[in-house]
Amino acid sequence: MKTSISDRMRRSIVRRFFTYPGGDYQDGRDPEGRFRLICDHVDLSQIGSVLDIGCNAGRITRLFAEAGKFAVGLDVAPYYLTTLMDMRYAPKTPAFGKFPLTRESVDLLPSFDLVLLLSVHHWWVKEHGDAYAQAIVAKLAGKARRHLVIEFAASNDKYGYREPRFDDDEERSVTDYALDWLKGVPGLTNVRKIGRKQERNAVETFRYLFLCDTHDRGQDVRWAIPPEQEAQGGAS
């Protein structure tokens, strides 16, 4: 879609005067690619609402709103102000809120069809430990009527581990760690790696996304990498 000169001028002004420090983090992380990867693995016709935890600037939240979904982005700081101002007249506008998550505050959230945890849970591990982080993820899984998508960093330092739990930036090792970590989260079924996305920092080449079903708690928990990925030694 082409944008008019007035639209481009408006966006330029918004980005200059309504940015929030740290809100440009997503710009270098291919939010469009992450959005497409998720959409390739879920049935969007069955998704009406999306909760984006740790939304940062809200780029992915915005893309789901533009796809016609009721999208809500939450973060500990209003990094999303630029996106919110930029979309204030759009037909489909996401909702944003400043909402620090704890094991207690997560109980206040309503349910959504899809819950996203992209590059956020490792902060909980680093600050409070694995058990605390797994408890929050479990509660968020309880808020997801259909799916939860969680992204794993590929550096031990991101989790604050003093003793390495996996080989940094090594796909198979990170995948094994992630699948084992998710076994400590009740309420997840059919856990599978759906792909990897480029990361732009000095210690990671990629981060890895996992899709978990949550809507049928009666199923046996299964942990899997799709056969085609297994044959290739992981997603590409």
pLDDT for position 10: 56
Phi (first) and psi of residue 147, to 5 degrees: -140, 155
Reply yes or no on whether the pLDDT at 47 is more than 80.
yes
Mean pLDDT of 110-122: 96
Going 165 to 166 to 167 to 169, the CA torsion angle's sign is negative
**pLDDT interval class at 231 (50, 70, 90):** very low
> Residue 126: which residues within 8 A CB-CB, separation 6 or more?
158, 159, 160
**Is a pLDDT exceeding 90 seen at residue 105?**
yes
Query: Structurally, how many domains does the chain consist of?
Result: 1
* CATH number for 55: 3.40.50.150
Mean pLDDT of 155-168: 97
Residue-range definition of the domain harbouring residue 195: 5-232
Position 166: which residue type? F
- Residue 55 corresponds to which amino acid? C
Closest to 159 (Cα-Cα) out of 212, 225, 203? 203
Q: Is the dihedral of CA 228, 236, 24, 117 positive or negative?
A: positive
Per-residue pLDDT at 110: 96
Q: Which carries the bigger pLDDT value, residue 235 or residue 23?
A: 23
Average pLDDT over residues 106-134: 96
Higher confidence at residue 67 or residue 30? Answer: 67
In terms of pTM, does the model score above 0.95?
no
Beta strands at 112-117 and 49-53: parallel, antiparallel or unpaired: parallel
- Is residue 121 pLDDT above 50, yes or no? yes
Mean pLDDT (the chain, rounded): 84
Q: What percent of the chain has pLDDT over 70?
A: 78
Antiparallel, parallel or unpaired: β 144-152 and 206-213: antiparallel
pLDDT in tens, 3-24: 555 656 655 555 555 555 555 5
Candidate from 62-71, 185-194, 197-206 with smallest mean pLDDT = 197-206
pLDDT: which is higher, 102 or 14: 102
